Amino acid sequence: MTHAPTDARPAISSATDDYLLGMRTIAPLLVAAGPVGLLFGALAAQKGLSALEILLMSAFVFAGGSQFVALDMWTTPLPWLTIALSTFLVNMRHVLMSMSLGPSTTTFTRTQKLVGFLFLADEVWALSEQKAARVQLSFAYYMGLVVPFYLMWVLSSFVGAFVGAAFTNPEAIGLDFAFTALFVFLVMSFWRGKRTGAVLAASGLAATIVYASVSGPWYIVAGTAAGMITAAICAKVFGLESDRITQEAAR
């Protein structure tokens, strides 16, 4: 007499629970991402893009930062090469985010990694890193973050195409700061004391200097490089300090 496996239902239940937990975790950020999507759709419509073109752009590109950069350069004739280079530089951070998150995706299959990193966004990365710092990151939890965030971005930008007239002056209602506020929240969620402060200061200073002196999105590369170098130096310096304190305590 054979018995059916008893572990199938718990596994499904666990995956469902993880997925729902991911949705609950990303929910507060949807409130911030929605207005940003509306703003993008409105600005894109003002540039002459149709609602369908805006929908397809958000669905296939799914990169808010580079989409806004592309809009800034959206003129006639369209500077395809300049837009491609600029958006490539803006999205270089995704390489670093993938490298950072990669070690936490050991339970993902190859296909799951390809799908997961295809939909990687700053917000998804930040919340995934926070989860991985506490427990094992599951693909179900990861997709619980991705799906609602992706749908919010695509749908809000599509709706923004129809309400563009209401956003002729987004500064009047503070909507222009929504994108900045969202990233400030993400950065501060990783605050670890003076080491984090040093990294942010170096990155911000380098980005500001390059932004003021060089045209194009090179300030993003400069800020990233400065932050990485400072982080490496801090890890070595504070690591040595931690070792010294541990040795003194042992004595």
pLDDT confidence bin for 219, thresholds 50/70/90: confident
CA distances from 63 to 36, 40, 206 (A): 12, 11, 23
CB distance 30 to 153 below 8 Å? no
Residue 233 pLDDT > 60, yes or no?
yes
Residue 84: CB atoms within 10 A of its CB come to: 11
Mean pLDDT of 180-185: 72
User: Tens digits of per-residue pLDDT, 95-138?
Assistant: 888 988 999 999 999 999 999 999 999 889 999 998 998 899 99
User: What does pTM read for this prediction?
Assistant: 0.77
User: Tens digits of per-residue pLDDT, 187-203?
Assistant: 777 677 778 888 888 88
Residue type, 87: T
Residue 242 pLDDT > 60, yes or no?
no
Residue 64 pLDDT > 60, yes or no?
yes
pLDDT confidence bin for 11, thresholds 50/70/90: low
